[in-house]
């Protein structure tokens, strides 16, 4: 992270190569910006649709890669333990690619959202122009849409710190053992 012309710039790396994000990601305490993504039925999902319930947003660069698959699976497996929270995964894969991933992985009941139009990526400052995809990150917003946790993974080929994210979530909603 560095400051350029008064803006806080965030860099990430991919296999050690430094890349700058398209904008400045919001900070903890900021409101989730307005954006639109699309669900598996090609229905528009806006920021307002995510407000009202604590939400964990898992952002992956490309759902069809091993680390993104692991990240999506790990958070999907946790969702049942937190019925008071909403879990969703956002990538800029197309809806068809996301649907194909679900079929190939045998995954059901996962809330995948497509940011193929990059509305989320640009509004959140998470688009990585050099890679053509979103930066791996985890966001938790409270029921009012205020960001209470953010984790932008520095090395994009690494997995996020799942435990840290789940610990942050547990400060807002209780875990239910099945």
**CA-to-CA distance for 97 and 56, rounded, in angstroms?**
22
Task: Single out the catalytic residue among 9, 68, 88, 102.
Answer: 68
Q: Is 68 a catalytic residue?
A: yes
Q: Give long-range contacts, CB 8 A cutoff, 24+ apart: 156-165.
A: 156/12, 156/13, 156/14, 156/61, 156/128, 156/131, 157/14, 157/15, 157/67, 158/67, 159/67, 159/70, 159/71, 160/58, 160/71, 160/136, 162/74, 162/75, 162/78, 165/56, 165/138, 165/140
Residues classed as catalytic: 68
């Amino acid at each position: 992270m560095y400051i350029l012309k008064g803006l806080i710039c965030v860099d990430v790396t991919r296999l050690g190569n430094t890349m700058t994000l398209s904008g400045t990601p919001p900070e903890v305490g900021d409101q989730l910006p307005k954006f639109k993504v699309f669900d598996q039925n090609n229905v528009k999902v806006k920021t307002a649709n995510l407000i009202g319930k604590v939400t964990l947003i898992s952002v992956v660069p490309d759902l069809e890669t091993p680390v993104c698959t692991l990240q999506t699976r790990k958070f999907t497996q946790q969702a049942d333990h937190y019925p008071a929270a909403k879990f969703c995964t956002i990538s800029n894969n197309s809806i068809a690619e996301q649907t194909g991933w679900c079929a190939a992985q045998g995954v059901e009941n996962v809330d995948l959202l497509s940011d193929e139009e990059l509305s989320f990526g640009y509004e959140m400052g998470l688009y990585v122009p050099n890679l053509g995809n979103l930066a791996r990150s985890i966001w938790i917003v409270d029921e009012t849409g205020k960001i209470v946790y953010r984790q932008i993974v520095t090395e994009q080929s690494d997995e996020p710190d799942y435990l840290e994210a789940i610990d942050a979530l547990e400060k807002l909603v209780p875990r239910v053992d099945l």
